[in-house]
Amino acid sequence: MTPLPQPTGPVPSLTEDPYIPGSGEAGIVPEHYDLDLSVRLATNRLTGVAKIRGVVPETTDTFRFDLVGLSVKKASLKGGTVSKVKSSRERVTLQTKQPVAAGSRIEFTISYEGVPAPRRGLWGEVGWEELTDGVLVAGQPNGAPTWFPCVDHPSLKSTYRIAVWADAGYRVIANGRLVDTARKGSSHRWVYDEPHPMSTYLAALQIGRYDVVEHAGPVGFAATNLSARKARLALDDQPAMFALFERCFGPYPFDSYTSVVSDDVLEIPLEAMEMSLFGINHMTKTWENQRLVAHEMAHQWWGNSVTLARWQDLWLHEGFACYAEWLWSEEAGLGTAASRARTAWLGLRHKPQDLILRNPGPADMFDDRVYKRGALVLHTLRVMAGDEAFFGLLREFQSRYTGRTATTEDFTQLALERCGALAAAEIEPWLSEPLVPAFRPAL
């Protein structure tokens, strides 16, 4: 790393997303996060050391990391000097003694602490949340900085090592493979390695009394003794869902998948890479809850493997996962995808028709219309192209962008290539016009 004579000025907003303004301003493109954390559940106290390794895209002496509600104790640069640390409510800025040349690979170490709490904003509360007896992290879309300093943008994927000391009697579940455990007094350490590139919002930390962990092949669940029986019954179709999605979408892109079941009642399930979190209220065999089980699993392909490059393209996650619900309904004999699609279309006709799917705006990013309209894009393509071409398209999209990010334009271009101009034209109104198009019945 060769310092240049003088800095070139403020770092531009290299990756800022207008849906989450300010998040992702950096000066560094991270490649790996190494997190060493200690969590005291009784006081909700977090102490952490984050090593962030990455590349510098433009010569600069100023580096910004998103960090919400936590205090930085000290920061250092491997092979260099951090001359100034400045913290605000939502980020920390590090200034180096000398500018770092473009193309340099560097590593910062940031020590921090505090009482983590959810981040309140346009989408309610996201991030770190205390449970009745434990902790969960709901990272989407900008909750990651509530528990570690990061460059919080979905297009920036990194590998992770996550090591956590927690109270004995509790299990820590994080992304990737459990590679080590240790005990020291009244604390237990859990170490996870995630070698697959992951966006910050998908980094997860669940802490609870998860005594029961069962897997059938790569698919399984974790639950407390109190909830294990209900979880076992409610999740017994997961292997069949997994097999269906591998046929439809292509090989599972990760090593394993775990549904974590909390004893708490949760409003909605939460998906993270290689896991999902459910409340005990979701553990029934009703369609309303089984569709959620399918939905969250499908996000492993659509959202976690192929990830949006910008938040305006959220339909690439939610529309695909919603359509996966309909595919499971068809597979399980609970109603054809076509019948589910028609029901969704009828519902959309009675809702406001002022949403542009390819750019719904931050306030409507998680609106149910994004989910249903997105699924109807896929249904329309399936009807127009036929099953062979349609599922070939999905597998090709997954294969081409696995471990990477994609945009709506990437998908429509591939649809044109694989399904033809007529089919590509048919989905354009669903993406670009506010009025709900006519329903396309089976040809």
Q: What is the CATH number of domain 1-114+145-193?
A: 2.60.40.1730
What is the model's pLDDT at position 10? 35
Residues 48-87 as b/e (b if ≥16 CB within 10 A, e otherwise) read bbbbbbbebbebbbbbbbbbbbbebeebbbeebebeeeee
Alpha helix segments (H runs only) across 212-314: 228-234, 238-249, 287-298
User: What's the chain's Rg over C-alpha atoms?
Assistant: 22
Residue with tokens 């028709």: 353
Count CA within 13 A, CB hemisphere, residue 299: 25
Pairing of strands 177-184, 171-174: unpaired
Under a CB-based contact definition with an 8 Å cutoff, are residues 65 and 85 in contact? no
Cα-based angle 84, 87, 90 (whole degrees, multiple of 5): 145
Q: Is it true that domain 307-432 has CATH number 1.10.390.10?
A: yes
Alpha helix segments (H runs only) across 168-303: 228-234, 238-249, 287-298
What is the model's pLDDT at position 348? 98
Query: Which residue in 313, 322, 314 sits closest to 345, CA to CA?
Result: 322
What is the model's pLDDT at position 8? 35
In angstroms, the CA 10 to CA 7 distance is 9
In angstroms, the CA 207 to CA 129 distance is 11
In angstroms, the CA 360 to CA 311 distance is 10
What is the model's pLDDT at position 443? 56
What tokens were used for 110? 């940031």
What is the model's pLDDT at position 23? 78
The beta strands (E) that lie in 115-175 are given as 118-121, 124-131, 134-138, 157-167, 171-174
State the CB neighbour count (10 A cutoff) for residue 291: 19
What is the model's pLDDT at position 5? 31
Q: Return the bridge partners of 254, or none.
A: none
What tokens were used for 438? 């006519």
In angstroms, the CA 308 to CA 439 distance is 27
Which residues of the chain are under the pLDDT cut of 50? 1-13
Q: How many helices (H) and strands (E) does the chain have?
A: 9, 22
Domain ranges of the chain: 1-114+145-193, 307-432
Query: Which residue in 319, 311, 320, 321 sits closest to 405, CA to CA?
Result: 311
Q: Write out pLDDT tens, residues 136-158.
A: 999 999 999 999 999 999 999 99
Query: Phi, psi at residue 405, to the nearest 5°?
Result: -115, 155
What is the model's pLDDT at position 14? 57
Query: Which residue in 362, 338, 357 sits closest to 412, CA to CA?
Result: 357
Under a CB-based contact definition with an 8 Å cutoff, are residues 437 and 430 in contact? yes
What is the model's pLDDT at position 162? 98
Q: Write out pLDDT tens, residues 154-183.
A: 999 999 999 999 999 999 999 999 999 999
In angstroms, the CA 137 to CA 160 distance is 16
What is the model's pLDDT at position 15? 63
